[in-house]
Amino acid sequence: MPLTAPTAQRVAHQLHAATAHPRLAAAVAAALFTGASLQQLATARPRDYDDAAATLALHDRARYTDGCAAYPVPPWAGVFLRAAACFPRLVSGEDHELLAAPGDRGHLLRMAEAARLRPPQPPTAHRKGPVGRVEWDWRERQEAERCEAIPAKRARPSQR
């Protein structure tokens, strides 16, 4: 669901205040407008962001979560993605991760917490940790459990 204009402005301000690292800010922004998991965000390369079309492609070749998809980039997030797309060329000139690298999970979570940007939380009855503790991987766990259940349903013999 798209953010309202006031919420988008607040989110952009919070990201800007929380970090100067373009890739981390872009990763959190992309997570907000795509709802993608960290593993899917980690698939994006600078060539996957099209500034002219304002789209971001995320990949999931194993179809573990949502498959490959192109997402429209809202204007408030475009500034973060443009900066992230330029960052690898400035650092090394090579084609690196656009949004997240394998070891970035801790950095991303700390930065998102500093920006006070938390994902939707599970209902109290479904919480794994104590009340008040943020569950960062709740959506990823839900996706994994759903994907694991699909082959189990297919493997069951039909009951007639």
The residue written with tokens 């990823």 in the block is 140
Instruction: Per residue of the chain (160 residues), give pLDDT as tens.
Output: 678 889 889 989 999 999 888 889 999 999 888 888 788 888 898 889 999 999 999 987 665 555 678 899 999 999 999 999 887 666 665 667 888 887 888 888 888 888 888 766 667 777 776 666 666 666 666 666 666 666 555 555 555 4
The ranges assigned to domains in the chain are 5-117, 121-160
Yes or no: say if 41 and 99 are a contact pair by the CB < 8 Å rule. Answer: yes
The residue written with tokens 């999931």 in the block is 60
pLDDT of residue 160: 46
Structure-block tokens of residue 108: 């991303």
Structure-block tokens of residue 106: 């801790």
Look at the pTM and tell me if it is higher than 0.85: no
Please state, in angstroms and rounded to a whole number, the distance separating the CA atoms of residues 22 and 9.
Answer: 17
Number of Cβ within a 10 Å radius of residue 94: 8
Picking from 155, 150, 154, the residue whose alpha carbon sits closest to that of residue 65 is 150
Residue 111, C-beta contacts closer than 8 angstroms, at least 6 positions apart: 18, 19, 21, 24, 25, 28
3-state secondary structure 97-120: CCCCCHHHHHHHHHHHHHCCCCCC
pLDDT of residue 52: 93
